[in-house]
Amino acid sequence: MPHASDTRQSIIDAVLRIIGQDGIAAVTNRRIAKEAGVSLGSVTYHFATQHELLRESLLHFVAEETRHFTALADACTDEPFDIGQAAEVVAQVAGGNAFDSRHIAPFELYVEAGRDERLRAAAAECFAAYDLLATRILTQLGVPDPERLAGVAVALVFGQQLRRLATGAPAEDLVDTLLILTRFAPPQEP
């Protein structure tokens, strides 16, 4: 018999797959149960409401992303690196994720957070991890005021990732965009 946490995780994974494949509107308890290979009763036992399903799915994704991006950020503090090394990190972030249903789902969840303020704290936590990585990269490159520019860099990444998702544009476009950002960063105020 599967452990309750395994069942719960199977349900969350199924929710992320469904959202990535067909959007939030496709998330029904019956479909989740079928996709997760659990009983319908298990879905409602573990998650009383659709909001709870969406929130827990976003929190799960956030926890994974936060661990991943924090580890990348920590690796950026060991020793200074040049623009080429920074481009490699950005390429890893941009090109490392295939746009399968599991990676499309977070974009849907972030849009849902725009509609449902109860999801915003979870989304903000994930963006804080993205900002941390961007700040570390910009700091290593000697870009003035990296904390202020981190949000801009993250916005560029998300915009380029959405463009890549929608058009199939290569990850190299993202690397080029970020290299331009670092080159033309405004000088630090005295």
Confidence at residue 64, expressed as pLDDT on a 0 to 100 scale:
83
Residues 149, 185 contacting (CB under 8 angstroms): yes
pLDDT tens track of the chain, all 190 residues? 567 788 999 999 999 889 888 988 899 999 999 999 999 999 999 999 988 888 888 888 878 877 887 777 777 766 666 777 777 777 666 655 456 666 677 788 788 888 888 788 888 888 888 898 888 888 887 788 889 989 988 888 788 778 877 887 766 666 666 666 666 555 545 4
Amino acid at 14: A
Confidence at residue 190, expressed as pLDDT on a 0 to 100 scale:
46
CA distances from 160 to 36, 42, 178 (A): 32, 38, 10
